[in-house]
Chain A
């Protein structure tokens, strides 16, 4: 093998190794950033992980929204009409957040079973239901019919 060929071989080997490492790291990061969706019932049965970020969806329970008078802290209940989970959030709620509306929250469960949200999503449409919540409600209806 000529020296130039040898050099080229090393370079190519280094590049292949680099690509492999990059792919591995990328896929690892990908797995860590996947956020799963859970319903209040699944949280109640303990299917949702504690201390890990996930998406929680449901309807805001009527009369459950309580604001702190001095800050932007707010708590409310989120339900799939079987179970309810208390959600706490600090910040500005989206324009269409209101009682009875379907929403999705991102955050973690704390030790007391309260879902601490860092993001609350509601879409800009009166008739809109987050698709996850709509599916959840449909499945529940199908179960009830059986």
Chain B
């Protein structure tokens, strides 16, 4: 029943580093004998709990030619086990009014339920059973492949923005598997089989490759006992090798992708730069990029919006983003849509001028303070939502970070200096490591749209 949310890195980036300020919940973190990690985030405001399991495997771990396999398996994980056949699990979730879903990114695959507190242990037992107990028949695999193809249609084939984003990622990564779409290339999805899925499952789905995050009305003590009684019964079944993906070579020239679709009535430009992730960055660098992205383009006070939309009046919108949650590389992005009568090239020149200024002069003290207080406040706002907190911890741990790094995030943001931001801009806003995408109506010379 995977209603999966294919978490785009951008989405995840919104809560790149996590943490709490204010009334700090006491996070507990422990590892069972079989290697399964457990994180407990108490929140006693309502009698509900969010239960997530994160497998440290995603689309970037697929073999060449099998793109889409991690995601396909995520769908198939809802097809039942020997002990809980068919849709027993989902029926049980529905019977107690719970919610469930699953998601796949390049680096991880996750499953979750949100349920009344009293039913948590049942969920833990069912989820533990599904780590190694999956049973697949061609009868259930075949229709599910069609479901996945329809999902690809919705997200990509029917959607010009989705098609452009796919092509841009493929161009950004010259060698690293992040260049493959998490949902897979359509022609490869079409060839995936039950055997492919089971082989992938046996290789990567094992307690020593998973993190369980439980947020809600629980105590670490009870979770520890329940985890041992459920997850603790599952023996590891595979050795997990270090996750080493092919690295990017020196990138020596900017790339561009132009996607033309007759339906496009509002052209747009976006550019992504290769950037370090929270995991690969030097200390403070990822946080400096977050501050930079905020100052440049988060909302209407951002530099890009002020310059292109308000002062010059040439664009409908403009902004920037940085998503640090990834095992290997992250992306720093800028985007804009021209006003009627303005061209993508005018808008691009204006973006370049703003970036050049930031590279040269950095950001102002006021911009620095404003971005920092906003990012730190986000950590407090996140405390209002147990699912958000669970997501923060899970995505961090599934991409090579630690609980301590997540907890130290507000302090790391607080420590960002104007110099660090300028240095980050200078280092990473390098055209040679970027891809610029144009979404246009036709490939005719200069885009003409009214």
The answer to whether A and B belong to the same complex is: no
B residues near A (Cβ < 8 Å) are none
